[in-house]
Amino acid sequence: MGVDMKVVVNFDLCESNAVCMGIAPEVFEVRDDDFLYILQEEPAEELRGKVEEAARRCPKQAITVED
């Protein structure tokens, strides 16, 4: 069981496109200041599919999921 999933965002690459928020709003939030906030750095395992999809679709490839 990979219960220790950790979401890492490279903020040098992140451009607040907010695509991740559209896929996994439980984990990613772009606020009115246009910055991305990570709501849960170690989300529950049931969010893995969404988080990995967000990583895949990030236009800047700024998201990695570490185990």
31 binds other proteins (CB under 8 A): yes
- Which residues in 1-67 belong to E strands, given as ranges? 6-9, 28-30, 36-38, 63-66
By CB under 8 A, name the one of 7, 9, 19, 54 that touches other proteins: 19
CA 43 to chain centre: 10
> Is residue 14 part of the contact set for other proteins (CB under 8 A)?
no
Q: Whose CA is closest to 55, among 2, 44, 17, 31?
A: 17
Question: Which one of the spans 2-10, 39-47, 57-65 is the region binding other proteins (CB under 8 A)?
Answer: 57-65
Name the residues that contact other proteins, by CB under 8 A: 15-19, 21-22, 25, 30-32, 34, 56-59, 61
